[in-house]
Chains A and B, each alone.
Chain A
Amino acid sequence: MPASKKSLLKKHETTSSLLPVADTIANFEIRYVQFLNAQAKIVNELPDFANDNDCLLELYRVMKTLQMFDHKVLLLHRMGKIGTYTGTLGQEAVGAGTASCLRNEDVFVPYYRSATDLYVRGVKLHEILLYWGGDERGSNFDDPRLKHDLPIPISIGTQLLHAAGVATAIKLRKQKDRAVLTMTGDGGTSEGDFYEAINIAGAWNLPMVIVINNNQWALSESNTAQTACQTLAQKAIAGGIEGIQVDGNDVIAVKATTQTALEKARNGGGPTLIEAVTYRLCAHTTIDNMDSYVDKQKYNSAAEQEPLIRLKKLLQTRELLDDSKERELELAIKQEIESEVEQFLQTPPPAPGDMFDYLYASLPERVAAQRDEVIQRENPDADIS
């Protein structure tokens, strides 16, 4: 469903309606993209990739993986094996649809709720678990193809400017055919860095795409608490860049829009802000209880519109998926998750000196002495040379 709030401007007479204006000097509009609605009805001519059955099956597999992963992490949390995790339940189409458009040479700049994207990009689930399990090594991605991708930042909004910087590097080096994809939550669009990022992206015509994962909540605050804007996509107008809203539960729409925007960026056409409208079906984090602020009825109706149901229906219509194939898929995913969880649980804690070892290229004398102290306290016989 398109997300457009009532405009505050309509409540009162506007200043311009009370004045004899000379002219209208600019007009703006926000378009909404959808192919597969919540009833799995095809409402627009499908893009080419949506006629590629393998492509749709792979998107479904990814979304199913993250859906099952979410449940697994909650269990791990209840068993005391992992701390805070920011789930992706209900928002899998935003991640799968966006990241599947990236090429190796592109750069992905995540936010903390980008687990689906990270997974598609090639980050292993055990690395994601390691990160949320309190271990920095989770951001030292194993896959060498990801060497340019940035790690998860926790300070909201900061990543958007980093993405602008990566895009600046690409532009200054005159690298054609490369673009940057970055993400933020809906609450993140209230941050100064968000506005600064769309501003500089526009001013410098940077090859980047910013995706807003509008999951309706910023922790416990609804969109109404964040902004008077009718849409978040329209914030792009302030930066002079293109803004577009897409059904974030329609993976086909997310992918088609992201692909088009990335292609535009690669071809020198500049930045795009994509607002993907979805719903957070999990609590903010594993340690959050959403009962106090979520309306149960609204939640239930959002749950009926979640992204896997409609894609599954489409796959069934095309006879690509039936109950036995679904079970087969679930089994394979379960095995992958179990083995990744095992690898996470088996990872020994970092060495005692580890928290000092990546501070600078070479450790200053003073800090080296502190490192030695930590090592020796843990192991009095250690050779600290």
Chain B
Amino acid sequence: MLTLVESVNMALDHELDQDPEVVLLGQDIGKSGGVFRATAGLFAKHGKDRVLDTPLAESSIVGVSVGMASQGMRPVAEIQFMGFIFPAFNQIVTAVARMRNRTRGRITLPMVIRMPYGGGIHAPEHHSESTEALLAHIPGLKVVIPSNPGRAYGLLLAAIRDPDPVIFLEPKRVYRTEKQDIDNDGEAYPLESCFIDREGSDITLISWGAMMRETLQAATQMESEGVSCEVIDLVTISPIDVSTILESVEKTGRCVIIQEAPRAGGIASEIAAELSEKALLSLLAPIGRVTGYDTVMPYYRAEHRYMPNTQRIVDEIRKTMEFQ
């Protein structure tokens, strides 16, 4: 039985074993095993040429990964927290996302940038935000978010093997909340499609990352009130698997999207826009959104007010179901 962070570790270990071009780099990921222990034991097992402690410089971590990947290596970079991605943002936007395009396919970047994200762990400033939409807005990247241990394993394998750069966001609030039995079989999951976690007929709930927990709880609660919820784990927030979502909403006629990130300009907005363009005539109610608020993520004494919870999701489902 493994936690999400342990399954990340197992996937990294598996790929280090399988492919000599895979190299991990990041701050404190070597002997220490990373602040969340995602790389625990890997330095000891694979050595200093496979698991590199970098200087404390995010642009270096990403920029150097670009150079390594341009020569056919498969760097897997760790950014300690998503709140510290910004020094590397220039590299992500101007190099990572566009090298294949810039060279008309001559140079490609098979690299992964992983980082923990999201709130709910009572951490200091910049350790709790969910800024996935900033990354999803950049053409040329894939942005992938696992919601449970099994998915973390299968999706990370796929991300490392992908010929293009993948941003891999790990919902740190659920790093250790759930354990699953996972075979270390090297079986990758597809990055192109979302997962239907629960079939239902009255309403489609769409979420990703840590919010899948509350979303599934809300679905269970609504079931007892006689509302059948279909629950979709979006997984890849860019590019979005629109057809699976569309098929579900055409069936149920109702949709609520749940995200931890602020509301304005988020992934939920993007999904809602797609649905309003493509499924208008199937919709029986306005598309609902349960999101974080459009304010600065509060420090942890107040973060519970900011984070969407099961009650807020239940309320939104009821509202959507009652719409006439």
Chain A residues within 8 Å of B, Cβ to Cβ: 107, 109, 136-137, 139-141, 147-148, 150-151, 153-155, 158, 160-170, 172, 192-193, 196-197, 199-200, 203, 357-361, 364-367
Residue contact B105 to A199, C-beta cutoff 8 Å:
no
Contact among A153, A154, A170, A199 with B57 in the assembled complex (CB-CB below 8 Å)? A199
Q: How far is the CA of A164 from the CA of B68 in the complex (A)?
A: 8
Residue contact B164 to A161, C-beta cutoff 8 Å:
no
Tally the A-B contacts, defined by beta carbons under 8 Å.
140
Report A-chain residues with C-beta under 8 Å of the C-beta of B104.
136-137, 139-140, 358
Residue contact B60 to A199, C-beta cutoff 8 Å:
yes
CB-CB contacts of B83-111 with A at 8 A, as 1s and 0s?
Answer: 00001001100110001111111111000
A171 smallest CB distance to B (angstroms): 9
Residue contact A203 to B68, C-beta cutoff 8 Å:
no
Q: How far is the CA of A159 from the CA of B13 in the complex (A)?
A: 30
Residue contact B67 to A168, C-beta cutoff 8 Å:
yes
Residue contact A168 to B63, C-beta cutoff 8 Å:
no
Does B114 have its Cβ within 8 Å of any Cβ on chain A?
Answer: no
Q: How far is the CA of A141 from the CA of B73 in the complex (A)?
A: 21
Residue contact A200 to B71, C-beta cutoff 8 Å:
no
Residue contact B102 to A151, C-beta cutoff 8 Å:
yes
B201 smallest CB distance to A (angstroms): 26
Q: Considering the complex of A and B, which 6 residue pairs feature the smallest CB-CB distances, nearest first?
A: A165-B67, A161-B63, A364-B239, A165-B64, A155-B94, A140-B104
Q: How far is the CA of A150 from the CA of B72 in the complex (A)?
A: 13
Report A-chain residues with C-beta under 8 Å of the C-beta of B68.
165-166, 168-169, 172
Report A-chain residues with C-beta under 8 Å of the C-beta of B105.
140, 357-358
Report B-chain residues with C-beta under 8 Å of the C-beta of A153.
94-95, 102
Residue contact A164 to B63, C-beta cutoff 8 Å:
yes
B29 smallest CB distance to A (angstroms): 15
Interface residues of B in 174-208 (CB under 8 A from A): 192
Q: How far is the CA of A109 from the CA of B99 in the complex (A)?
A: 13
Residue contact B87 to A192, C-beta cutoff 8 Å:
yes
Does B55 have its Cβ within 8 Å of any Cβ on chain A?
Answer: yes
Q: A147-B106, A168-B64, A199-B55 are in contact. Are A360 and B70 (CB under 8 A)?
A: no
Does B220 have its Cβ within 8 Å of any Cβ on chain A?
Answer: no
Contact among A139, A169, A358, A364 with B67 in the assembled complex (CB-CB below 8 Å)? A169
Interface residues of B in 100-150 (CB under 8 A from A): 100-108, 139-140, 142
B97 smallest CB distance to A (angstroms): 9
Q: A148-B71, A360-B100 are in contact. Are A196 and B55 (CB under 8 A)?
A: yes
B225 smallest CB distance to A (angstroms): 35
Does B269 have its Cβ within 8 Å of any Cβ on chain A?
Answer: no
Report A-chain residues with C-beta under 8 Å of the C-beta of B90.
155, 158, 193
Does B49 have its Cβ within 8 Å of any Cβ on chain A?
Answer: yes
A137 smallest CB distance to B (angstroms): 5
Residue contact B71 to A196, C-beta cutoff 8 Å:
no
Q: How far is the CA of A148 from the CA of B140 in the complex (A)?
A: 21
Residue contact B59 to A192, C-beta cutoff 8 Å:
yes
**13 extra interchain contacts, Cβ-Cβ under 8 A, other than A136-B104, A148-B71?**
A109-B67, A136-B103, A140-B106, A150-B67, A151-B99, A154-B94, A161-B60, A193-B91, A196-B57, A197-B63, A203-B55, A359-B139, A367-B139
Q: How far is the CA of A140 from the CA of B66 in the complex (A)?
A: 17
Residue contact A193 to B59, C-beta cutoff 8 Å:
yes
Report B-chain residues with C-beta under 8 Å of the C-beta of A357.
105
